[in-house]
Structure 1
Amino acid sequence: RTDDQDEETIKKRVLEYRTKTELVANYYANHDLVREISGIGSINEIFDALKNEIENL
């Protein structure tokens, strides 16, 4: 994306991530509600890993 080359745009995105997304992600992680799935592998392998995590909720 062309706007990704603008330093101010990138700074705004990082700030928004830190003030919104990061807070929510940390909340869920601190309450043991985050599951990590490796994105390495075939689409089917990743899908199966996701499906297994969902089934184990």
Structure 2
Amino acid sequence: MGRWSRRLAPLLIEFAGIRDGDRVLDVGSGTGSLALEVSASRGVEVVGIDPSAVFVE
């Protein structure tokens, strides 16, 4: 997991108003590290999509 994801996730959660049990769509999720961190810290369901096939795998 990227260093920046751990630092950015709490700020994103607060800014977006993400609460326990929410469902989140991560558009342009890249490696998915931020989505994983958000999911782990709040127990939310995160679905990530990305136009790059390399990242989707």
- Is the pair's TM-score, using the shorter chain for normalization, greater than 0.5? no
Q: Which has the larger radius of gyration?
A: 1
Question: Which structure shows the higher helix fraction?
Answer: 1
Name the TM-score, length of structure 1 as normaliser: 0.28
Name the TM-score, length of structure 2 as normaliser: 0.28
Query: Of the two structures, which has the highest relative contact order with CA contacts closer than 8 Å and spacing of 6 or more?
Result: 2
Question: Which structure shows the higher strand fraction?
Answer: 2
